[in-house]
């Protein structure tokens, strides 16, 4: 994306008929989206998320979902189990945009997609919700 290699590695849980947000995934508690091993964002270039500049490297991704707002948590620790979280390792907490989906998504999907105006967006989609945050690639 814009000359940068960006990879997101994660496990894919399914809804299997369960209520997800506010139930299986409680509001106002840190949640690592995914299953099993930690969800990892690897970037070969610095990324700019609003006022936050993320240096190239590997990071784990967590979220802080609530009924009306979400935050993406970028954490410096990698290699841990998805239920292990150490707030002192947080690099940044970034506000996410929330959209409701018309059709439910059975399995969690986390992607990095290009935006027409440049840069990209990290998207998390599951059940009837999309949480997203835009970024640009920093040119060295």
Which two three-digit tokens encode residue 56?
Answer: 């190239």
Only one residue has tokens 């936050």, namely 52
Write out the chain's pLDDT in tens, 140 residues. 777 899 999 999 999 999 999 999 999 999 999 988 999 999 999 999 999 999 999 999 999 999 999 999 999 999 898 888 999 999 999 999 999 999 999 999 999 999 988 889 999 999 999 999 999 999 87
Q: Give this prediction's pTM.
A: 0.94
At 84 the three-state DSSP class reads coil
CA distance 26 to 38: 19
CA distance 127 to 138: 33
Q: Which of 49, 45, 17 is nearest to 61 (CA)?
A: 49
CA angle 76, 55, 98 (to 5 degrees): 75
Burial of residue 39 (CB within 10 Å: 0-12, 13-18, 19+) is buried
């Amino acid at each position: 994306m814009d000359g940068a290699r960006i990879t997101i590695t994660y496990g894919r849980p399914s809804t299997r008929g369960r209520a997800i947000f506010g139930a299986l995934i409680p509001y106002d508690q840190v949640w690592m989206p995914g299953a099993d091993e930690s969800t990892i964002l690897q970037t070969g270039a610095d990324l700019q998320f609003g006022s936050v500049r993320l240096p190239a490297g590997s990071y784990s991704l967590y979220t802080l979902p609530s009924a009306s707002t979400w935050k993406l948590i970028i954490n410096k620790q990698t290699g841990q189990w998805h239920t292990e979280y150490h707030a002192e390792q947080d690099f940044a907490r970034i506000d996410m945009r929330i959209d409701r989906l018309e059709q439910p998504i059975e399995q969690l999907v986390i992607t990095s997609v290009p935006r027409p105006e440049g840069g990209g967006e990290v998207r998390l989609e599951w059940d009837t919700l999309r949480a997203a945050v835009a970024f640009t690639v920093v040119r060295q």
